[in-house]
A and B are shown apart, each in its own frame.
Chain A
């Protein structure tokens, strides 16, 4: 009785240890992967590959990001108005809409949408390349798949998400203007002037951009690595795609708290 229990618990401890080692190992693999593929001399060939990915990851994501931004700005204005009007402070509507968009909502929501729209597609695409052994064939003919396939996608993500975040903020502020000023009748001058008095370019717009750059690195990294590292079967691809969306959403929300605490928590 006793020895079997001992054996069982030893096996469990071994399993736990192996799992921990696996996690650390895959983290290390992911880090080395990011370094190897993102650092390098850009070539003319690489630029045109990057351009193609920018079109897919950035330009084609524009529609969903802008439409979401418009609706989020409109909802913010509507919700904010009904609360602020109780205190006779509806002039502060512009300030509320702009600050919540620039500091929090635009970087986070744009990153979540980006993970769903572009990240999952990146994982599936690279995963299918691996499953159909295209990556191996590339290595066979002497083309480095990290440079040829992975690097353009990584850099496209790094550049595209901050631009999408800017678009999200601008359209959201315009949506807040539509609802607040055009529909609910907040005075136009106070909408803009209160916003300008309270938004500081470096600490609000700048910190929002830093946030979105961090999210861009994390989301694209997770998406591309999940595609590159998956089990090359159809089930493996579907699992990796799910993991991409789940991990990037969690990473974005968790990092957002940390970044917010560092940037705005020290007041």
Chain B
């Protein structure tokens, strides 16, 4: 059937059939070819070269959660893009950051945003944060075939839980396995280094300002040791994307705000290249 029902005049029956509030279910019934997971892959020899997004970090603070990502996409040992955006709002109270195959990830996020919006419009209420996290899980699982050919997408999902009144972070693996992270989390190639940095810097009583500084510190450390992660690019004015979600909803820090934090971190690193030191005992 046509994606554009205007060519057939009236709305096709599938549009008027009462049923699921899920856009993915509707797409699966009506035009399955548009679903990323339903595509038949040609037999492949070896890995596919495509841009990969790298490091995403998140941390909670009392009253919300911060999700941030660096700006680099790599293809093999080449930098494919310097200013890619890998952190997106999922809806008003949640955001998703993606590491892995950039093209597939962006499509997945687009569908995920629509899935949440569609549910909200049809049902009149938002999905619970757990419900949103589970939908994302389903989407990653449907990409398993691609993931096994090296085109994995591994997101980090962060949101403000209105019922529990706190920020929460969910991490995923390629099979769609979902686990809630407490305090901080990272995904992507630089995640090992970022997680190490956050482990030493994280405290439970961070303010929003401190939490945003923490994630940029962690991204700096990731870029320091992982060639695929990009650090703050002062010359080109490319800074990490930092988003904050609180009970007031999603907010992306302006370039002025992130550049200020990034510059003060750079300033500190001029005297202490390894960043702030944690106490030994």
Chain A partners chain B: no
